[in-house]
Amino acid sequence: MLSFGGMAPDDSDPSDEEPDEALSRREVLGASVGVAVAAAGGSLLSGSAAAQTRGPSTPAGSAPASADGGPTNELRRMLGRTGAYVGPVSLGGEGALRTMGREELAVPVILEALRLGVTYCDTAPAYQQSQDYYGAAFRAAGAGARDRVFLASKTHVRSRDGALRLLDDSLRRLGTDHLDLWQLHDLREQADLDEIFGRGGAIEAVERALADGRIRFVGITGHHDPAILLEAMRRYSFHSVLVAFNPADSRRMPFLSTVVPRARQLGMAVVGMKVLAAGRLVADRAARVEELIRYGATHADTVVIGCSSVSEVRQNLEIGARLRPMSPEELDALERRIAPRASRYDSYKAP
């Protein structure tokens, strides 16, 4: 039986003014598919999920493409300024992984993703036993399995001491001595930022963990209010943002025309989530899985998708293995198709 650490409140799909100067569709796509120069060191980085990278990968998150259907080197993308390469589709920490006592279901999901060449793995303390399942999967996969992925977890605790305790618990449960990415989880309100950046706040934990090697990079996540993510990005030089969007995004409080282009300007990695709207878009027959993954991966370096079964892992990664970004016309057409019922697919945003 796997052990279970502290849970955070559920943040899978909670539930107005939009940030000023939202960009047009053409400007957003240009930001997504352009090439940006990183602020640090001036090195040339991919500023786009749509920009396909070629050549050898870096050690973390750079396992060779799988002969069983993983993305080829030509389909891997640079993950912001981290130096890691990732495929367009990655494994999320929810689905079968956001459960209790379901090791027999969850661990095979992870193992299949690893077998098929996934190199970015997402989890969080808030996702029930997700971290424990990853730890078990890495042990089952054998020596070096953990080091072949870019491992991302999170902290929902806003204080320095509490966040550091949670980080150490994450490392124990995952069976590793470091995270490749540690993210401040589910930023929703100004009060979150005030606590994080205040005296004794979680940003002090970030600085300490970066200095002692427990984490390599730091990011933020959010799906509630784009203005809060933009303010966090103004206050600190984060390496990544995990952000929610799907073809319903433009209806209100958009992330694609605000957070994503700003992240590109800053050389940050952009990781997409909720691209299937928790499966509702597919269940409603509003769009096909392949369309939604292509839509998300056109805007992001990679999209994380929680899988409920091994077959879902295979389906998603097969799509990723042959993925090509959508054209502006395809993006517009999908958004127009979703628009009449868009309110069904953005319930994760602030009311």
d(CA 47, CA 61): 18
Would you say 18 and 226 are in contact if contact means Cβ atoms under 8 Å apart? yes
Contact predicate 225/259, CB 8 Å = no
- Supply the Cα-derived Rg of the chain in whole angstroms: 18
Cα within 13 Å of Cα(173), Cβ side: 26
CB 44 within 8 A of CB 296: no
- Residue (of 206, 224, 202) closest to 214 by Cα position: 206
For the beta carbon of residue 344, count every other beta carbon within 10 angstroms.
14
- Exposure string (b/e) for 245-275, b if CB count within 10 Å is 16 or more? bbbbbbbebbbbbbbbbbbbebbbbbbbbbb
Q: Are 196 and 185 in contact (CB under 8 A)?
A: no
Q: Dump the DSSP string for 200-262.
A: TBHHHHHHHHHHHTSEEEEEEEESS-HHHHHHHHHHS--SEEEEE--TTGGGSS-STTTHHHH
Q: Is residue 183 within 8 Å of residue 218, measured between CB atoms? A: yes
Proportion of the chain above pLDDT 70, given as a percent: 79
Would you say domain 25-33+57-344 falls under CATH 3.30.70.141?
A: no
Query: What are the tokens at 333?
Result: 């057409």
C-alpha–C-alpha distance, residues 258 and 291, integer Å: 23
DSSP assignment letter at 71: P
Distance, in Å, from the CA atom of 124 to the CA atom of 92, rounded to the nearest integer, reads 10
CA 196 – CA 184 distance, rounded (Å): 9
Neighbouring-strand partners of residue 270: 241
Q: Is 5 exposed, middle or buried (0-12, 13-18, 19+ CB in 10 A)?
A: middle
Question: Is the distance from CB of 221 to CB of 241 less than 8 angstroms?
Answer: yes
Tokens of 337: 């198709």
pLDDT digits (tens, 9 = 90+) for 72-107: 566 899 999 999 999 999 999 999 999 999 999 999
For the chain, give every domain's residue range.
Answer: 25-33+57-344
What count of residues does the chain have?
A: 351
Instruction: For residues 14 and 2, give the distance between their C-alpha atoms in angstroms, rounded to a whole number.
Output: 28
Q: Are 271 and 243 in contact (CB under 8 A)?
A: yes
Burial class (CB in 10 A: 0-12, 13-18, 19+), 328: middle
Low-confidence ranges of the chain (pLDDT < 50): 1, 3-28, 30-59, 61-67, 69
